[in-house]
């Protein structure tokens, strides 16, 4: 039963998210691989100065006007101690 419910992921949603990702990268001539590399470089650069939560970093580009957004969660001193 669970499998049937999970199978309900709709192909239209999947197609839409694929197209949005693809077209954004095609418009600026930047492939998904390059986006991943950019993300890794960003993490690397920021890490030199502050501690960040690497697993929660997200980057994306919005259209009209095209803007690169990077969400890089910063770890506070407290969190670092508990870790």
Per-position x/- string for 35-74, each x denoting binding to another protein as judged by CB under 8 A, each - no binding: ----------------------------xx----------
The minimum distance between CB 63 and another protein, in angstroms, equals 6
Q: Is 81 helix (H, G, I), strand (E, B) or coil?
A: helix
- Residues of the shown chain interacting with another protein in the complex, contacts defined by CB under 8 A: 10-13, 15-16, 18-20, 22-23, 26-27, 63-64
């Amino acid at each position: 039963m669970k499998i049937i419910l999970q199978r309900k992921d709709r192909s239209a949603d999947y197609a839409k998210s694929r197209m949005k990702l693809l077209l954004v990268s095609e418009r600026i001539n930047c492939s998904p691989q390059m986006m991943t590399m950019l993300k890794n470089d960003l993490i690397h650069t920021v890490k030199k100065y502050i501690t960040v939560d690497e697993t929660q970093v997200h980057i994306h580009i919005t259209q009209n006007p095209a803007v690169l957004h990077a969400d890089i969660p910063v770890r506070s001193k407290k969190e670092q101690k508990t870790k």
